Amino acid sequence: MAMPMCRRTAAALCCCLAAGAAQAQERTTRFDLTHCYVAEEHVIEAVVSDHQVLAYRVKVYLMRGTTRAAEPGGPLDGAATRCVGTFAYLGNAPPKGDGYCELAVSAEDRLLFQWSAAAGSGSAAILGGTGRYRGASGETSFWALPPIPSLEPGVTRACIRSTGEFKLP
């Protein structure tokens, strides 16, 4: 037997209100971090021999580090980080890069970011998480801080500043 029109309307309204209430319960958290890391780099490059001009250079980075929130104890403070990424230098063009980073606040509570960068700054999207970050989404922007000297060939030490927000269901 078909549901009367007023009941169908009421049922549809209840579904819409429930969906709206679920969205209203979504929690947004802003963060402001400094992320410092050490990166092992692997390089593919070609130099045009007759002019000693760089044709291209591609660097693959394996990075490990930690975060510090601008306010001690703030969101994502002290997270351990693991990242992979590439940067391409093509002729005289500014370098462009992309990759992924995982921020682990604990073994269970992790966030996965996908990032892209050019000319010392970039942005990232939160793809998801585990534990208390399950279902997370959000975005961040970041920029390079002054370089840190490295004594080891093939090793980069650096810090970036990152501000953004994540949303939890």
The model's pLDDT over 132-155, given as tens digits with 9 standing for 90+, comes to 999 999 999 999 999 899 889 999
Residue 63 lies in a domain: yes
Residue 46 lies in a domain: yes
Alpha carbons 157 and 121: distance in angstroms, whole number: 16
The more confident residue out of 14 and 71 is: 71
Q: Which domain holds residue 119?
A: 28-168
* Threshold 0.85, pTM exceeds: no
Instruction: Quickly list DSSP for 17-48.
Output: HHHHHHHHT-EEEEEEEEEEEEEEEEEEEEEE
Residue 14 lies in a domain: no
Total domains, the chain: 1
Residue 107 lies in a domain: yes
Alpha carbons 138 and 125: distance in angstroms, whole number: 6
Alpha carbons 143 and 161: distance in angstroms, whole number: 6
What confidence category does residue 103 fall into, taking pLDDT thresholds of 50, 70 and 90? Answer: very high
Q: In this structure, what DSSP letter does residue 80 have? A: E
Residue 22 lies in a domain: no
Residue 93 lies in a domain: yes
pLDDT at 25: 75
**6 pLDDT above the threshold of 50:** no
Element (H, E) at 141: strand 137-144
